[in-house]
């Protein structure tokens, strides 16, 4: 018996959103002929579901003409259900115009009238819980976890590049207001080295500007040295990641590597990871420029004690 056909619309350009949607993808792939618009750079995250998901064009239509054209294309594909993770009005309008019978989504941007299965908007609901709430609207459940394995070859490559480093730090990110202050990271590095740890500095293309002030510190500089799809090997090879809120924090959690995650203005209850072995902290006043070494050190020491006595 063939499975009903479903479309999942997420934000294709956001790494964190994609990682946190893994448990919902997993549940839906087991119960539907699932099509997803997850962005091409992030599709490696679904290697466990290879052959179980059909990936669609991630480009979101913007003008009314584009929406109408895309809706007509979707209508011809006979989807029974659309899971609209992306909170935009246009995404819900697209599903409605495509005449998809079941439209599952949050009541954001006044779009509730376009939906058949409605999730009340809750800004502080943890994202894994939110994914599970989507599944529950169609009488399914998720395991509320994201896992990302690494191949032996990728781990071997990472360990060679790490040169013995077991703790990673992340100076960069998507926007400056989310970053750990450079001086706080500098003090963190020296504190770790004094404790006998070797430290790797991590980041992707574009993060170099934030990492340059720390380039002369005693770190193994791996910024932009690994493709995103190779980072699982790096994270699996570390004992701890110290990072601001961002894609690498979620990737670390998916790899099972303990993460100390510092939040500024982003809602930490929704996007943080509060269960051990991870720790989420919030900068004073939710302002990262107020996260001094004096504020940060107790949390660093707590995580060091944890990894020393797993």
Residue pair 278/253 in contact by the 8 Å Cβ criterion: yes
Q: In sequence order, which residues have a C-beta less than 8 Å from that of residue 15 and are 6 or more positions away?
A: 42, 228, 246, 247, 250, 251
Q: Output the pLDDT for position 158.
A: 98
251-287 pLDDT per residue, tens: 999 999 999 999 999 999 999 999 999 999 999 999 9
Whether the bond between 184 and the residue before it is cis, its omega within 30 degrees of 0, is no
Domain 5-136, what fold?
Answer: Rossmann fold (3.40.50)
**Whole-angstrom Cα distance, residue 126 to residue 136?**
15
Residue count of the chain, please give it.
Answer: 310
Residue pair 100/79 in contact by the 8 Å Cβ criterion: yes
**Whole-angstrom Cα distance, residue 43 to residue 36?**
10
Alpha carbon 68 to its chain centroid, in Å, reads 31
Question: 284: how many CB neighbours lie within 10 A of its CB?
Answer: 12
122-134 pLDDT per residue, tens: 989 999 999 999 9
**Positions in the chain short of pLDDT 50:** none
Judge whether 5-136 and 152-308 match in fold.
yes
Instruction: Tell me the CATH class for 152-308.
Output: alpha beta
Residue-range domain boundaries for the chain = 5-136, 152-308
Q: Output the pLDDT for position 309.
A: 84
Burial class of residue 76, CB neighbours in 10 A (0-12, 13-18, 19+): exposed
Instruction: Kindly state the helix (H) or strand (E) to which residue 7 belongs, with its residue range.
Output: strand 5-9
Q: Output the pLDDT for position 289.
A: 96
Looking up tokens 């797993």 gives: 310
Q: In sequence order, which residues have a C-beta less than 8 Å from that of residue 64 and are 6 or more positions away?
A: none
**Structural tokens at position 275:** 């269960």
Q: Which of 303, 154, 158, 166 is nearest to 238 (CA)?
A: 166
Q: Output the pLDDT for position 174.
A: 83
Sign of the Cα torsion 291, 260, 106, 96 reads: positive
**Whole-angstrom Cα distance, residue 307 to residue 138?**
40
Burial class of residue 51, CB neighbours in 10 A (0-12, 13-18, 19+): exposed
Q: In sequence order, which residues have a C-beta less than 8 Å from that of residue 66 and are 6 or more positions away?
A: none
The neighbouring-strand residues paired with 206 are: none
Residue pair 218/188 in contact by the 8 Å Cβ criterion: no
Residue pair 51/31 in contact by the 8 Å Cβ criterion: no
């Amino acid at each position: 018996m063939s499975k009903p056909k479903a479309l999942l619309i997420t934000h294709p350009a956001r790494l964190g959103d994609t990682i946190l949607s893994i448990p919902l993808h997993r549940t839906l792939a087991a119960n539907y002929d699932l099509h997803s618009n997850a962005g091409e750079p992030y599709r490696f995250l679904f290697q466990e579901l290879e052959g179980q998901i059909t990936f669609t064009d991630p480009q979101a239509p913007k003008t009314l003409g584009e929406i109408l054209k895309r809706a007509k294309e979707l209508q011809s594909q006979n989807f029974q259900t659309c899971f609209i993770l992306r909170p935009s009005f246009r995404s819900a309008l697209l599903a409605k115009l495509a005449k998809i019978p079941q439209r599952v989504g949050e009541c954001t941007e006044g779009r509730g009238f376009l939906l058949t299965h409605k999730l009340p908007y809750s800004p502080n609901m943890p994202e894994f819980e939110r994914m599970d709430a989507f599944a529950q609207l169609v009488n399914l459940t998720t395991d509320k976890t994201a896992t990302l394995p690494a191949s032996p070859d990728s781990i071997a490559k990472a360990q060679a590049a790490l040169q013995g480093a077991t703790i990673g730090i992340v100076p960069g990110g998507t926007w400056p207001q989310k970053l750990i202050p450079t001086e706080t990271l500098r003090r963190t590095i020296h504190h770790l080295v004094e404790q006998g740890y070797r430290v790797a500095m991590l980041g992707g293309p574009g993060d170099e500007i934030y990492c340059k002030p720390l380039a002369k510190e005693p770190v193994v500089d791996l910024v932009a040295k690994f493709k995103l799809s190779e980072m699982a090997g790096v994270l699996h090879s570390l004992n701890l990641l110290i990072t601001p809120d961002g894609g690498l924090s979620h990737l670390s959690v998916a790899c099972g590597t303990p993460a100390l995650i510092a939040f500024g203005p982003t809602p930490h209850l929704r996007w943080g990871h509060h269960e051990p072995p991870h720790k989420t902290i919030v900068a004073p006043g939710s302002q990262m420029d107020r996260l001094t070494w004096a504020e940060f050190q107790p949390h660093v020491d707590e995580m060091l004690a944890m990894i020393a006595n797993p």
